[in-house]
Amino acid sequence: MNAPAQPRRPIESGVPDPFPFMHPVMKKNYGNWDWHDRPRPGVLRHVARNGDMIWTVKAGTQRQMDVFSVRKLCEIADTFAEGYVRFTTRSNIEFMVSSQDKVEPLIEALTAAGFPVGGTGNSVSMISHTQGWLHCDIPGTDASGVVKSLMDMMYDEFIKEEMPNRVKITTSCCQINCGGQGDISINVQYTKPPKINHDLVSKICERPAVVARCPVAAIRPAMVNGKPSLEVDEQKCVCCGACYPPCPPMQINGADSTKIAVWVGGKHSNARSKPSFHKLVVANLPNNAPRWPEVAEVVRKILYAYKDNAKDWERMGEWIERIGWPRFFELTGFAFTKHHLDTWTGSRKTMNMSAHVHF
């Protein structure tokens, strides 16, 4: 007799079970940790209810790592850290050890290999960044490269805890911004609608997919030179770049159209004040690889204006709300322009609010 038909099971591809990779002391005390402190920047000590302790040493990495760096980190973990590591969402690596006398040799080994120890408490933690040129199909700039340039400039603020509060910085390599909200955010900004390479559209693009992608319904099918192509209503286009991934002939990247903007005051947490969206401060910075010096200079000015003027425990956005935006622009020396005013009232009319695409 045939076995009864089984329903098709979903394929789970979420995070793997962490327990097989967990340090034994963490496994033993799962759910039973009592308190923790930070004996020095970059080190956390957790104490369990039964008195067990574990030390976590956090080090910065370049995130997109070559095999030699990965091997080096594994070698350090095996030699100095009982063989257990984990990565944080901000691309830091954390080593766990169960006795205090292993902490200093581990820090020395990491520092000697070029991995700075820090990123805890009121420091500038590692910048959370998107995929950049290596992985994503639409970036207008790199992510790791920008991060490396900025973290070189802020190295001291990573290894010390001398900021008024923690500083979370994000970067995003296209205007869709999978980088998220940050105290300081560095985001690509497209300044012009895409130019269409009509010869390629019919060969490469699925036109319905491109039309459906546009958040403001600015793309229409059109016949150009007798071939099926597309056209863009430039009055509606908000230059978001969403049409470029399904249709690379919608060419939006270029030296004169791909710029970088810096935003401030975003916050995810509910601590002390509500979560907030970041707001534009400087636009139109050149996309100047490989070191992005203009972006680094803007970030440096914002960071040190905050460090020198905020009260203890104020996050960037809270500090600006207290002193007011005119004072913030005065302290940082940036110009306040008409581009800072959000006057767009057309969203109700132009938003692509229908689930139906008429093609």
62 vs 309, beta carbon nearer ligand SF4 = 62
165 vs 177, beta carbon nearer ligand SF4 = 177
The residues near 43 (Cβ < 8 Å, ≥ 6 apart) are 55, 56, 57, 58, 103, 107, 117, 120
Stretch that binds ligand SF4, among 2-10, 197-205, 232-240, 321-329 (CB under 6 A): 232-240
Separation CA 184–CA 4 (nearest Å): 58
178 forms part of the interface with ligand SF4 (CB under 6 A) = yes
Q: In this structure, are residues 175 and 140 in contact, taking their beta carbons and an 8 Å threshold? A: yes
- Tell which one of 26, 174, 302, 316 touches ligand SF4 (CB under 6 A): 174
Q: In this structure, are residues 202 and 230 in contact, taking their beta carbons and an 8 Å threshold? A: no
230 forms part of the interface with ligand SF4 (CB under 6 A) = no
Strands 184-190 and 258-264: antiparallel
Give me the 54-93 binding string for ligand SF4, x by CB under 6 A, dash otherwise.
----------------------------------------
Give me the 119-158 binding string for ligand SF4, x by CB under 6 A, dash otherwise.
-----------xx----x-xx-------------------
139 vs 145, beta carbon nearer ligand SF4 = 139
Q: Torsion over CA of 48, 49, 52 and 57, rounded to 10 degrees?
A: 10
246 forms part of the interface with ligand SF4 (CB under 6 A) = no
Residues within window 250-289 making contact with ligand SF4, judged by CB under 6 A: 250, 252
CB 352, min distance to ligand SF4, A: 9
61 vs 189, beta carbon nearer ligand SF4 = 189
310 forms part of the interface with ligand SF4 (CB under 6 A) = no
The residues near 31 (Cβ < 8 Å, ≥ 6 apart) are none
Separation CA 351–CA 359 (nearest Å): 17
237 forms part of the interface with ligand SF4 (CB under 6 A) = yes
* Residue type at position 103: V
CB 283, min distance to ligand SF4, A: 17
DSSP assignment, residue 4? P
Residue 126, classified by CB atoms within 10 Å of its CB into exposed (0-12), middle (13-18) or buried (19+), is buried
The residues near 345 (Cβ < 8 Å, ≥ 6 apart) are none
142 vs 157, beta carbon nearer ligand SF4 = 142
CB 214, min distance to ligand SF4, A: 3
Give me the 181-210 binding string for ligand SF4, x by CB under 6 A, dash otherwise.
------------xx----------------
Count the residues in the chain. Answer: 359
Q: Where are the alpha helices (DSSP H) in the chain?
A: 24-28, 67-80, 103-112, 144-153, 155-159, 198-204, 207-213, 293-309, 316-323, 325-332, 347-350
81 vs 237, beta carbon nearer ligand SF4 = 237
- Tell which one of 54, 126, 169, 243 touches ligand SF4 (CB under 6 A): 243
| Interface with ligand SF4 (CB under 6 A) | 130-131, 136, 138-139, 172-174, 176-179, 193-194, 213-214, 216, 218-219, 232, 237-243, 250, 252
